Amino acid sequence: MASSNQSALKHVSNAREHLYEELQNLPLIIEKLHQQDVLNSYEVSLLEAEPEKYNKTSKILTWVMNKGEEACYQFLKILDFERKSVLPKLQSSMQAGKPHAWISQFSFRDEPEDDYIHGPTSCHELQNFLKTNAKIFLDQQWKQSTHFFGGTAQEKFTYIPLVLDTDTEKNKSLNKITLKSNKSKKPRSKKLRSYIPQDTYKKSPKDLLDSQEKSILLVGKPGIGKTSVVRQMLYLWIERHDKKHDFMFYFDKNILSNISNISNLENLLLDTFLMSNAHLREKTGEITQYPQEHSENVTLIFDGISDFHDSRILQRVMQHDILPEAKIVITCRPETEDDEFFDWPTCKVYVQGFSEESIYDYFTQMPDQDPELVNSVVNNPALFSLCHVPMYASMVSACFSHCTSEGAHKQCTATELYIRIIAFRGMEIRN
């Protein structure tokens, strides 16, 4: 911000009469003035006890101006940073000009902005709460998905790169008959490897999370890795340590099955996630308002949804009628991607499973098993090809983790693999 000798006190004084009507979200202004030591605790308590908006605004302006130049400067700084929340929409105007233009006319000092905490404290509490619960959720899901390894798998959520293809035309118009005819001329081992996708686009969950796309549809067959992609997005958000004040709401199938009767945004975002937090539930009005006003900082993930027909609130979210700038990510199967309710994405991504490199990574990084297991899979073209689908890779790895060293070396077909899995499952149930 440019340096200036412009008087903050004079700038506030000149607009005082208009600010009586224009200032909004007074609790946020009071909270920020308290954080900046412009108002003390006693003054804050007096303001909170004042029922009339006009009188409360008058006291704020009077006390700030009486405290002098620096207090007025901090007040203007708060209005600048929080203008979207504390100033009216652009169509409302002040006599001397629109309030957004008025605050922009003041030249602030050159100073770092990293020490300023945007938004109300309750929203930061909400962000921390969501991250804590998301981490617990990922850890629980990871343990559940790896319990077949007998405790040998890594304890923390691990993402193995998946092939994410954005070539919609190729995926929609692929001629499977022609493909089969071409493959018939190849040796069987090459035919099998041709099913393994090549990562030509090099897209990652981080790219999707950081992109400017507002409507992303992830398409893929069962077990191909759609859930792994969106959970990696959730994990990356949890691990962010910058001061960006953003929110991510992750809806899996269990949550989605219970929201058909939800009719408003507050119930959708907060009642779903804050049932166990009475402190934040008392502030639902405040912490619902901020995401709506700053919807560009909101990401909603609907993992496994197949039908919007019965939920008006989900339709409105998907169509950006509410939270217009939010990033919406939805996973679906190929048979439902042409549903009229999915005819909305600005970006469609096809999840195609593991590349050859990722298959190697999976068997070397995921479970802590005998290294010879990798050779057993690599040297078995049928199994190696099958493992481009993460669900099957997990089945192969879990099955082999219970094999003796001699058993792991035995060649087996996919059918024999299934028989082994069923046999081991039967033994587990009997034990």
Instruction: Give the fold, CATH level 3, of 8-104.
Output: Death Domain, Fas (1.10.533)
Q: Could you tell me what percent of the chain has a pLDDT over 90?
A: 36
Q: Where are the alpha helices (DSSP H) in 23-120?
A: 26-35, 41-49, 53-66, 69-81, 83-86, 99-104
- Closest by CA position to 134, among listed 246, 57, 33, 38: 246
Q: How far is CA 44 from the centre of its chain?
A: 35
Q: Which two tokens stand for residue 145?
A: 């998905």
Band the pLDDT of 47: cuts 50, 70, 90.
very high
pLDDT digits (tens, 9 = 90+) for 132-144: 999 999 988 888 7
Give the mean pLDDT of 52-67.
95
* DSSP-derived 3-state class of residue 302: strand
Assigned token pair, 165: 């293809």
Tell me if 416 sits within 8 A of 188, measured CB to CB. no
Strand locations in 255-399, DSSP E?
Answer: 298-303, 327-332, 347-351
Instruction: Read off φ and ψ for residue 298, nearest 5 degrees.
Output: -120, 135
Residue 286 pLDDT? 76
93 — pLDDT class (breaks 50, 70, 90):
very low
- In angstroms, the Cα distances linking 31 to 35, 40, 103, 217 are 6, 10, 20, 39
| Architecture of the domain spanning 123-166+201-351 | 3-Layer(aba) Sandwich (3.40)
| HSE-up of residue 70 (Cα within 13 Å, Cβ side) | 4
Q: For 317-366, how does the pLDDT look when each residue is reduced to its tens digit (9 = 90+)?
A: 888 888 999 999 999 888 888 777 776 777 899 999 999 999 988 887 76
CA distance 16 to 9: 10
pTM more than 0.95 = no
Domain-wise residue ranges, the chain: 8-104, 123-166+201-351, 356-430
Who wins on pLDDT, 189 or 383? 383
Whether residue 23 is predicted with pLDDT greater than 80 in this model: the reply is yes
